[in-house]
Structure 1
Amino acid sequence: MKTALITGASRGIGRALALELAGRGYGLLLTARSEDQLEQLAAEVRQRYKVEAHVFAADLAAPGAAARLAEWVGAQTTELAVLVNNAGYGLWGRFEELPLAQQQNMLQLNMLLPTELTHYLLPQLRRQPKAYILNIASTAAYQAVPTLTLYAASKAFLLTFSRGLRYELRDSPVSVTCLSPGATTTDFADRAGMSAGLQEKAAKLSMTPADVARIGIEGLLAGEAEVIPGALNRISAKLTSFVPKAMTEKIAAGIYEKYLK
């Protein structure tokens, strides 16, 4: 059975991506920290879609996590056809005021985990007739975002990594896509520590995880390089190519900084 690995699969966009892939007949390898949530999701997809689903609960930011996960994947399947690098989170606040250890943890999960996991699993992906890598970035990848400085930088890394790797693999069976959602109805804002006022503002423009997942998987299977769900998100990302960087940074700061205490 064609199989997909989804990191950060227990909730939000990761969960929605898992359901979308299961609905298309893929067996699932699910990983995140919450074993209970993963087991509930695995039971749901087995019942609804009649596909296999296996769970690997772990702190993916821990040292050696990518190697242990890759070894587990190899023991579960020889038909890994989709790698979804979704695990990650954001931190809101001024760089110098946020604890360095928390920021390092975020960078480990947002950048180093997908880098390591992709390197470990590419040989298996290459053995398939057709395989896909989906890296989950953000519309923040397209510009600097004051008070989300390292988060935006980490997502810019994922976008650039995706495009460079895609070109390197152009003559292989593996296609690489970067999915960059805008505001989505997940717990991202809570975990990032955003204020209630800022969360209320974002909620007005939010898409559902199911819509983001559907658009993302459609773009992945179509072989698109970049997928930005939502017309407004696509327009704003495109505008960053034409508007001076100092202006986009000032606009972003105006949105986020005024909610800081």
Structure 2
Amino acid sequence: MRIAGPAIILSIRAHGEHGAIVRALTRSDGVQAGYVRGGRSRTLRPILQPANTISGEWRARTAEQLPALTVELVDTRATLHGEPLAASALEWLTALTAAALPEAQPYPRVYDALDGVLGAIAVAPSARGWATGLVRYELLLLAELGFGLDLSACTVSRATEDLGYVSPRSGAAVARGAARGYEAKLLPLPDFLREGGAAEWPDIFDGLRITGHFLARDLLPGPRSDVLAARERLVERLKRAVA
């Protein structure tokens, strides 16, 4: 077994006295785990950071064996771990991806989207520059794993205009007219989730509320719900930053 190519580091776990088990997302081969000899050394610790992009090579004699992984740094995002908002975003994105994706299944669109939102966090002057991308990434992950929302038409009237809400039960859009009298039971649908473009903070938080509901219900139930604590920390920091 041999896999080689760029990968985004999702998690690192100490193994033995000096080594580390690294899980990383590749574009063509999905999430791959590997043992990095000396992964806790001064040389490799700066490379083995969540959200860094590496060039990795996984080698194993059998499919059942944990591969040995060698790494070279391609793009570091280590400095972002010193910025509270950016660090929270990196923690959540990598934890979410690691918890949600099955091993060794290719999700090229997820890889490209994750790479894009991590890049936006690295260059954006403020959180509003990447927060919409983070919400869209969550929405894409839901869709790629079979829990996509239907925001194309009203689930009641099939109208395609004036869509203002999402049903928390079905994940389908609801037009404002059809929602009359039931608004309190529905999730407000911000325009940027359907039309793209920038968004103001109230709309961003509405988007986070939608994706957060379906992530918790469909993608991260039971034992995997532990990773949602990272999302809660991120949302609280975003709220404090814009208060």
TM-score scaled by length of structure 2: 0.25
Task: With a CA cutoff of 8 Å and minimum separation of 6, indicate the structure with the bigger relative contact order.
Answer: 1
Which has more strand, going by share of residues?
2
Query: Which protein has the larger Cα radius of gyration, Structure 1 or Structure 2?
Result: 2
TM-score scaled by length of structure 1: 0.24
